[in-house]
Amino acid sequence: MKKVYIAGMGMSRSTLTLRGEEAVRSSGLIIGAKRMLGEFPEIDAEKVVEFRGAKIAGIVRRYSGEVVTVLVSGDTGFFSAADGLIRALSGVDTEVEVIPGISSMSYFFAKAGIPWQNAAHISCHGRDCNVADHVRRNRYTFILTGGNTGEIGAGLVRAGFEGLPVLIGENLGRESESIKSALAEELETMDTASLTVLLVCNPSPDDSVPSGIPDSRFIRGDVPMTKSEIRSVVMSRLALRPEETFVDIGAGTGSVTVEAALSLWKGKVFAIERNADAVDLIRQNCRKFHVGNVAIIHGTAPEALEKIEAPHAAFIGGSGGNIEEIVKTLCAMNPHIKIVITAIAIESLYDAVNALSSAGMDPEICQISAARSKKAGSLHMMTGQNPIFVISAGGEDE
């Protein structure tokens, strides 16, 4: 049986552990990226440039020797190629030993003199990444940029984080290593190396998930808004999980959009609104509450739903008279979708119930009547709000 070492090399040979060095020296075949193999000129072993797991598995299978080392960058457990490589080698008659390395995160935090045990860490290398919502929730957010420094900076600016300090690490562990500081807004136009990491520092992190945010905290205008009392009930009916996808149809000022985005900090929110003034308000409120996982679509449902991925849940605060078509489209996108609708008029209630029932759902109806206190001299009197129907249906338990 062949012995295969998967060794994390850290940033360069200088950060390879002693155990990793021993593995390399004991091997008749070393596989890895050209940059890594080039750091062992004195070792007389066969060297093959390859980084794809399936290809490496084939090379190992055909190799007639007994010991192989596969070099991977950074640490084997931190956004590493090691995970896919282990799976690829599972069908090969080998004994695999994983040797951890020094991650770029631990290296960079050590350089900065900052402990990293409570830091958030994300990778934007070849994947969607919601930087702003990690930054909002954490004092330190470490980012593997994947060369997307400008895009990351633009996202931080959109979420109102343009003034936050950022540490920038380029070519860590190499002779050209550079560590410098900047403001988040400077990242948009900054030229950085392809191997760049970022550390965003937020002195006032907030990981709360509020429900029923006071109406006064939102930027208003002449656009309808789902009031705080109703919003609390709507959010409880939606029962969103952090990683889900959600769509707010007829988003208005974006009050439900914002609360959903705060809940879905690992997920995604789509806000559909046909009023141009409202679209601008949604954008302003997302910025005010520092949410970066909202895509705003200026359009009308159900047509605008063609532009989004299938949601786990939907709120319909305004349908433009298209409630039946909207519900039908949402159910076609996800048969297990959770839908919550609000209505003021009896006729709108009837249309919503009929639309959900026609889609094979069993709607639940709740009427909310709320009153708020208002000062009258030294006294307080209650002022009634419009009664609202909240209709909900669907979900995995339907």
List pLDDT tens digits, range 102-145.
Answer: 999 999 999 999 999 999 999 998 777 889 999 999 999 999 99
* pLDDT value of residue 127: 73
State whether residue 78 is helix, strand or coil.
coil
Mean pLDDT of 271-289: 96
C-alpha to C-alpha distance for 16 and 8, rounded to whole angstroms = 7
Residue 158's identity, in one-letter code, is R
The alpha carbon torsion through 59, 60, 65, 71 (nearest 10 deg) reads 100
Extended beta strands in 131-244, E state: 140-144, 165-170, 178-183, 196-201
CA nearest neighbour of 161 among 289, 308, 17: 289
Residue tagged 């639940």 (tokens): 364
Q: Name the percent of the chain lying above pLDDT 90.
A: 84
> Which domains does the chain show, CATH number per domain?
2-102 (3.40.1010.10), 105-201 (3.30.950.10), 215-394 (3.40.50.150)
Mean pLDDT of the chain: 93
77 within 8 A of 104, measured Cβ to Cβ? no
Mean pLDDT of 315-324: 91
pTM over 0.75: yes
15 within 8 A of 107, measured Cβ to Cβ? yes
- The one-character DSSP state at 10 is B
Strand partners of residue 380: 375
